[in-house]
Structure 1
């Protein structure tokens, strides 16, 4: 069985979003309440708001907002946003296939083959005399606690699905703040 490429799975032309650590990504700002997130996300497409699983008693109720691209054919969410009642927007997950491209200091993060992303993260760190980091699952990415690299199957290939985050109520780190839906053994299945 041949591997599917981005062209095979119908990758849409990607918008480019900027990321500012602890500030936000694209039109979304950390701390925004649900209504403001929906309003800002409508520039990309239609939204669907639902309650997120309450995985720990210390977290206040959380909403999951799926943002689907406009178009004739239904598609998986391009972006999934998590908003806590206490902290507001705390997590933005960019889909590996349909999500916008987000660049961190010249390093493209969305939809990348994970081994290529690792190679590029190492080369970038060496070029700027900086650092890179691995997640507990072993995915490489920028040395920024607000970028948590995850994986998503695209066909039979794992691609990067970054989460852009700040800590939410009751958590010590972004990793502790990971939404239950995004914690599927490091792999999101499209």
Structure 2
């Protein structure tokens, strides 16, 4: 398997965060409150908390916490979503500014989606395992807690993984995805 380096992707200075299924990513743990997420995210930089639109009545009120690297205004490196009912349930790593997170040796953040698909297939064949496609057609690890998303960077779709657990009123992580993340795939960076 070949992986593009951060320099090849136009991304430098990425932190490396670990992912533990159903536990969390880096310093963020599923179930945390807004205040706990803000405190834990200080390792990256400044945070901004805002209310999420309540697009679905089955979900309790939700907050979006954008974490920016350093003190200067910049795009969010990580966006965390906290539900009143279940706490932190979704962590999105920005394709350009987010920390690098791997899954069983496969880098997930900021990758060209076609290369990530090739690596996921090769990995599954090597370990006699599986990989998954999202309903949008993005390939990723065979883990229900990882939902691969595309983020347009220039003219290339890069990977923007969401690390998730189900939230109140949802059956799957895909059902739990914040509406802001549906819209995010249409933006450019």
Contact 1:63 1:82 in 2 (8 A): yes
TM-score, normalised to structure 2, is 0.93
CA distance in 2, matches of 1:161, 1:114: 9
Matching residue of 1:145: 144
Q: RMSD of aligned C-alpha atoms?
A: 1.7
CA distance in 1, matches of 2:64, 2:188: 17
Q: Does 1:56 align with 2:56?
A: yes
With 13-22 and 179-188 compared, the bigger mean Cα shift is at 179-188
CA distance in 1, matches of 2:186, 2:20: 25
Change (3 A) 1:89 1:187: same
TM-score, normalised to structure 1, is 0.92
Runs of 5+ unmatched residues, structure 2: 1-5
Contact 2:77 2:99 in 1 (8 A): yes
SS of 2:38's equivalent in the other structure is helix
Matching residue of 1:27: 27
Runs of 5+ unmatched residues, structure 1: 1-5
Matching residue of 2:42: 42
Q: Does 1:105 align with 2:104?
A: yes
Map Cα deviations across residues 19-64 of structure 1 (whole Å, 9 max, x no partner): 0000000000000010000000011000000001111001000000
In the TM superposition, residue 9 of structure 1 has moved relative to its aligned partner by: 9.1
CA distance in 1, matches of 2:8, 2:102: 24
Q: Does 1:14 align with 2:37?
A: no
Change (3 A) 1:8 1:17: closer
SS of 1:75's equivalent in the other structure is coil
